Structure 1
């Protein structure tokens, strides 16, 4: 009879288990504040101030959400106004950023001209400094242009801050698209613009979507410039409008948490819907083939 093979126990991959443990810790570290935010938004003001705090309230209420989403009361009217202001500024700055970043990145990727490398790295130079450094110069410039207390000042500012990384990301993506595809289209009679629009644009759609996600999130969450440039209550964006829940003697913590949760919903939904394009753009645009 043939000898029965001896089964050897597979050694434990400690590095893999250590990685899983670190990922589990990071998941808990990031999910716990979100869970506490949602739970607090379902509490009454008295339950939110209770000590020691309770993880799950004895009385669950959706009054905070109904109050914020109802335009018939003062708080709901203001909150919805801030929400639409943020949506308007974020969408417009995202669209303009993509419109400017796409041809700029394509030019850096395909054309060779004197000072190309120096100009490309000078575009990235702005990201080496904190955004708050440019606060007063940009405020004086917007005041000179007559754009203070207008959404145009925020759109121009977000466009300026989002362009460097958008151009860098898209350039890396265009570098991975073989130029022979455009040359073949040119041989068939297409112009450079037609080759770019019909060949390069569809292939670079994941990179464009990733750039749009980045620009939208940056504009949606920005606080300092919106606080400085806007001084009218009707013009405020959502991050600045959240301070309305902070009173002199008491803070409406359930209302603040409900507003913060509603504010996070568009970004989360946008990222979940377009996640595959975002990951594909980062992986394909990061390594030049």
Structure 2
């Protein structure tokens, strides 16, 4: 059996080492190093003592690794562990509620923009996307005044409503592109068989749009999980603080607990990484299929 040889259109052999592929591989490698090196240093520091973290020159691998920082974080009997677990619970509550409510709003809204034709549809859709053109800090004072007017300051509801406001535009845009890729003939066939529009949406469109819904939910959850500025502004009680705001307790006027901060940051990143790894195939599928036109 003869081995196949890659050839150019003119019949000449194609070189095995192609410059553009090498350049692409080097670029991806540099980007991976840029992302992974800080994470590796964070994990390394989390296993150091306070003295070892300040050692000069710094060491990538600690001489005497210690799990003391993680033990303090995850031990509910200690003060540090009790507060950390409370902040972690608050983040789960806010992020989960934001994801559920945001997805529940984004799904029918995106379906309406995709399937229905009504006056001002294009203008309204563009208006929703315009919000992403402005930095989040621009809306800080107006939203704080609004939350204070409705008595929602120092409540998780203020964060949930705010995070929904920030997550909905991209979620609606992502889902609309996905719905545009689902053939309307499937719904028309269900309508011909006597199904209502709502029944056709629930039983036909929804199962096909699961990857898009999962991708939108991942985006909303990650955005709510990592948000710091609004949580710092809207919440005053320590019992209600989310994890990004709670991490500032490791900073003090004279000494910063760098190993404890790195350990808590690593634990904070675990739910997001696990969520993305488990649902990655849905996320990639939604992005690729939503970008295609039938």
> Do these two structures clear the TM 0.5 threshold for a shared fold by scoring above it?
yes
Select which of 50, 62, 75 maps to 1:57.
Answer: 62
Distance 1:179 1:76, change over 3 A: same
Look up the match of 1:42.
47
Query: 1:206-263: per-residue Cα shift (whole Å, max 9, x none)?
Result: 0000000000000000000000000110010000000000011010000000000000
In 2, Cα distance between equivalents of 1:272 and 1:119: 34
In 2, Cα distance between equivalents of 1:211 and 1:98: 7
TM-align CA RMSD:
1.1
In 1, Cα distance between equivalents of 2:221 and 2:14: 51
Q: Which runs of 5+ in 1 are unaligned?
A: 1-6
TM-score by length of 2: 0.95
Distance 1:134 1:8, change over 3 A: closer
2:230 maps to 1:225 = yes
Select which of 115, 119, 127 maps to 2:124.
Answer: 119
2:200 maps to 1:182 = no
Query: 1:57-114: per-residue Cα shift (whole Å, max 9, x none)?
Result: 1100000001000000111000000000000000000000000000000000000111
In 2, Cα distance between equivalents of 1:229 and 1:83: 17
Question: Helix, strand or coil: the match of 2:55?
Answer: coil
In 1, Cα distance between equivalents of 2:133 and 2:52: 45
In 2, Cα distance between equivalents of 1:189 and 1:8: 60
Look up the match of 1:276.
281
Look up the match of 1:128.
133
In 1, Cα distance between equivalents of 2:227 and 2:216: 17
In 1, Cα distance between equivalents of 2:14 and 2:115: 55
Look up the match of 2:168.
163
In 1, Cα distance between equivalents of 2:34 and 2:137: 28
TM-score by length of 1: 0.96
In 2, Cα distance between equivalents of 1:217 and 1:278: 13
In 2, Cα distance between equivalents of 1:197 and 1:261: 39
Q: Which runs of 5+ in 2 are unaligned?
A: 1-11
Look up the match of 2:266.
261
In 2, Cα distance between equivalents of 1:12 and 1:191: 58
Question: Helix, strand or coil: the match of 1:281?
Answer: helix
Cα distance, 1:8 vs. partner?
A: 6.6
Q: How many matched pairs?
A: 283
In 2, Cα distance between equivalents of 1:197 and 1:55: 53
2:104 maps to 1:110 = no
In 2, Cα distance between equivalents of 1:141 and 1:51: 50
Cα distance, 1:10 vs. partner?
A: 3.0
In 1, Cα distance between equivalents of 2:128 and 2:31: 34
Cα distance, 1:288 vs. partner?
A: 2.2
Write out aligned runs for 1:178-217 (5 A). Answer: 178-217=183-222
Look up the match of 2:8.
none
In 1, Cα distance between equivalents of 2:15 and 2:290: 38
Question: Helix, strand or coil: the match of 1:182?
Answer: helix
In 2, Cα distance between equivalents of 1:11 and 1:67: 54
In 2, Cα distance between equivalents of 1:110 and 1:52: 62
Question: Helix, strand or coil: the match of 2:65?
Answer: coil
